[in-house]
């Protein structure tokens, strides 16, 4: 008998959404119930990089690709020091069959103490989230007789991610040096930084120092950086007011580049507004247009919020071709720019990696 459907018959796991919809499957990984925000990711590969992306903290990630687990997991593919999402939702859980695999997905989830649910009709769930928006949810995998009605009630009672500072949860606890050589010294604000960002900066000839999210601007300047990088991160940018204050204090004093949450924080620091998208952008196939050149790049993205109402000091540089939202900006006076997507990929396409060259040019000037 197929492993998946054997487990399906044995278990009574389900994901209950705050709007009352319930999706059934079987549990894997840590058999622990929890709450989270359900979002869908349209990437066809890269589940381990998604699992280890700190920007997913507080969320249940629904993978739209039907076959998950095929190539297993290995230490080399980690994008952070751990797994920060609240849970994983997939259709078919497969055994690993790949020469690089060090363990299967189920063992990986169990080792990191994260719950998952498989056997779910992820196509129906994704369509539901597209129609009704990202949802507060309750994942029941513990094996007891919790009713669906009680699970829905618990999902509704959860405070959610709006107004919550999750960057302070996922950030490094202390300053550290990523590499010790390079023509330029870049200080990276860690709001949930991915390792491939640090790799890309190092490969572009910079010496990288990573500092915690709450590091005051004066301490950053005391490190004598040639540039400051504002990283990706989870949850609501409006809840990270201290970061916007530090960025505002650094404007004009040192070149800056931001991505994802860092893009939103740079905008907020300059007076832009920020609002929630209906179901966010999560995946590695999002088309972005450069307003100046007309060039289109396919990008990797992971965010639920977007900048609106840019002030006069900020120039819109990129737009999302799916919904027209702001995907990039540049300060008209100071050497600072940002993009909403992840130019370092991991997982995803490499179309936008030349943005790191643009950052180097800012420091050269």
Is 342 one of the annotated active-site residues of the chain? yes
d(CA 237, CA 258): 13
Cα separations in angstroms, 56 against 59, 160, 170, 189, 245: 6, 13, 10, 18, 24
**Which of these is catalytic: 140, 263, 282, 342?**
342
**Which of these is catalytic: 260, 270, 284, 326?**
260
- How many other C-beta atoms lie within 10 A of the C-beta of residue 153? 13
Is 344 one of the annotated active-site residues of the chain? yes
From the list 335, 348, 252, the residue with the least C-alpha distance to 300 is 348
> Cα 281 vs. chain centroid, distance in angstroms?
10
d(CA 283, CA 242): 29
**Which of these is catalytic: 37, 49, 92, 344?**
344
In contact, 28 and 167? CB cutoff 8 Å: no
d(CA 316, CA 331): 9
Residue 22, Cβ density class (10 Å: 0-12 exposed, 13-18 middle, ≥19 buried): middle
Strand 314-320 with 326-331, pairing: antiparallel
d(CA 359, CA 335): 9
User: What residues act catalytically?
Assistant: 260, 342, 344
């Amino acid at each position: 008998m197929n492993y998946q459907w054997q487990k399906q018959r044995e278990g009574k796991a389900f994901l209950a959404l705050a709007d009352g919809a319930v999706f059934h499957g079987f549990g894997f990984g840590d058999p622990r119930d929890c709450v989270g925000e359900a979002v869908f990711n349209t990437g066809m590969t890269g589940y381990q990089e998604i699992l280890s992306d700190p920007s997913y903290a507080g969320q249940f990630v629904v993978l739209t690709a039907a076959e998950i687990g095929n190539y297993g997991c290995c230490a080399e593919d980690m994008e952070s020091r751990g797994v920060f999402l609240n849970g994983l939702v997939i259709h078919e859980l497969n055994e690993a069959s790949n020469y690089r695999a060090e363990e299967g997905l189920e063992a990986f989830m169990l080792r990191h103490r994260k719950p998952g649910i498989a056997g779910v009709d992820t196509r129906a769930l994704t369509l539901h989230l597209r129609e009704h928006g990202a949802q507060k949810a309750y994942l029941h995998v513990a094996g007891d007789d919790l009713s669906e009605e009680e699970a829905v009630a618990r999902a509704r009672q959860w405070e959610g991610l709006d107004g919550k500072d999750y960057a302070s949860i996922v950030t490094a606890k202390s300053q550290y040096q990523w590499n010790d050589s390079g023509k330029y010294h870049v200080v990276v604000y860690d709001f949930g930084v991915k390792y491939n960002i640090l790799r890309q900066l190092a490969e572009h000839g910079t010496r990288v120092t990573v500092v915690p999210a709450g590091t005051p601007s004066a301490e950053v300047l005391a490190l004598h950086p040639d540039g400051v990088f504002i990283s990706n991160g989870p949850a609501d940018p409006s809840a990270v007011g201290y970061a916007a204050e530090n960025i505002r204090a650094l404007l004009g004093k040192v070149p800056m580049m931001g991505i994802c949450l860092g893009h939103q924080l740079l905008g907020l620091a300059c007076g832009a507004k920020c609002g929630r998208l209906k179901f966010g952008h999560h995946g590695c196939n999002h088309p972005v247009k450069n307003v100046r050149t007309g060039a289109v790049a396919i990008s990797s993205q992971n965010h639920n919020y977007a900048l609106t109402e840019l002030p006069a000091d900020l120039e819109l540089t990129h737009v999302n071709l799916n919904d027209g939202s702001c995907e990039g900006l540049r300060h008209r006076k100071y050497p600072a720019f940002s993009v909403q997507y992840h130019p370092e990929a991991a997982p995803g396409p490499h179309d936008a990696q030349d943005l790191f060259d643009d950052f180097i040019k800012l420091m050269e000037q």
